[in-house]
Amino acid sequence: MITKEALLEKLTDYTVEHGMGVLGAVLILIIGFWLAKILSRATAKLMETKVNLDPLIEKVMVRCVYLLVIALTIITVLGQFGVETTSFIALLGASGIAVGLALQGTLSNVASGIMLLALRPFSVGHSVNIGGKVIIIDELGLFVTQAHEADGPSVMIPNSKIWGSEIINYTVTDRDMRRLNETVGIAYEDDIERAFKTIQSVIDGDIRVLKDEPTRVDVVSLGDSSVNIIIQAWYKREDWWQAKLDFTKNVKLALDEAGISIPYPQRTVHLKGSAPE
């Protein structure tokens, strides 16, 4: 049986032998946590003043700096007590690989989210075409992007799906303009030059058309049932959609008034000879 005197003696010996190590470990922990805060604040200040990044990315970077310093501090403390830090680091690396494989899809979304936030192919409120679907962006996140369709339904898209798709931003255009591209067919019997003048009069009568930009009215192809005419005119980006709707209606009315038909597909069948009796 261990007496109180023997236990006290052992505790005294342990304190004398390891006291400096424990004190050093505590001191390293204090300095490490203090240094982690200092470096994370310095990183945040650097991001705000020198680097133009999304606030969400800045927070992630600051947090990464903080956790990295804490991890190095813990490894140093373990070394103070004779723990083999090389093996410990290898174990952490193996664990990280295992977690990475388990969360492969999630990490892919995070990586894609960081790229989207850094490169900014679109922002909140922009109308974009992603993979053939037109949506309006509501919120950008690290994992998913929240949006809604023009007619109301909410959409939540994983960032990896967006980053791997073609992105067309309709809100951001060259010189803040957008070209109207329409094709209308007229009958082969109709006068092409008269059709040109009729369509051009609709273009000239639209005050939203940018007069300094070129317009075009020309034959683009000869179809099975119609002569197809291409129509091009430039508008301000914000006028484009309503102008497209108005233009389609006004061209139809003008061609009707000019006696020019827009034929529908039809097929003529010629029978040779007579049916056998």
At 99-120, the pLDDT tens digits run 554 445 577 888 888 788 878 8
Looking at 3.40.190.10, 3.30.70.100, 3.30.70.20, 3.40.50.720, the CATH number of the domain 174-257 comes to 3.30.70.100
The helix or strand, by DSSP H or E, that contains position 26, with its residue range, turns out to be: helix 4-49
Above 70 in pLDDT, residue 196? Answer: yes
Is the pLDDT confidence value at 11 over 60?
Answer: no
- Identify the three-state secondary structure at position 135: strand
> How many Cβ atoms from other residues are within 10 Å of residue 156's Cβ?
13
Average pLDDT of 210-216? Answer: 93
How high is the mean pLDDT of the chain? 81
* Max avg pLDDT among 17-31, 47-61, 69-83, 225-239: 225-239
What does the block give as tokens for 100?
Answer: 């990475």
**Cβ-proximal residues to 266 (8 Å cutoff; 6+ apart), any chain:** 225
pLDDT tens sequence across 45-68:
776 776 566 666 666 677 777 878
Mean local confidence (pLDDT), 22-41:
81
Three state DSSP letters for 52-101: CCCHHHHHHHHHHHHHHHHHHHHHHHHHHCCCCHHHHHHHHHHHHHHHHH
- The confidence band for 237, taking pLDDT boundaries of 50, 70 and 90, is very high
55 vs 48: CA distance, rounded Å = 9
How far is the C-alpha of 6 from the C-alpha of 17, rounded, in Å?
Answer: 16
Lowest mean pLDDT among 64-73, 163-172, 241-250, 265-274: 265-274
pLDDT value of residue 81: 65
Distances (CA, A) of 276 to 21, 41, 260: 113, 96, 42
The domain limits of the chain are 4-102, 121-169, 174-257
**What is the predicted pLDDT for the residue at 33?**
84
Statement: residue 86 has pLDDT above 60? yes
Yes or no: domain 121-169 corresponds to CATH 3.30.300.280: no
**pTM (predicted TM-score):** 0.60
Question: What mean pLDDT is predicted for residues 79-88?
Answer: 63
pLDDT, tens only, 215-231: 999 999 998 889 999 99
Name the pLDDT band for 41 (thresholds 50, 70, 90).
confident
Residues 161-170: what's their mean pLDDT? 90
Report the distance separating Cα 208 and Cα 236, nearest Å: 8
Q: 259: closest CA among 205, 191, 209?
A: 191
**pLDDT of 276 strictly over 60:** no
The H or E element containing residue 146 is strand 144-148
CATH architecture of structural domain 4-102: Orthogonal Bundle (1.10)
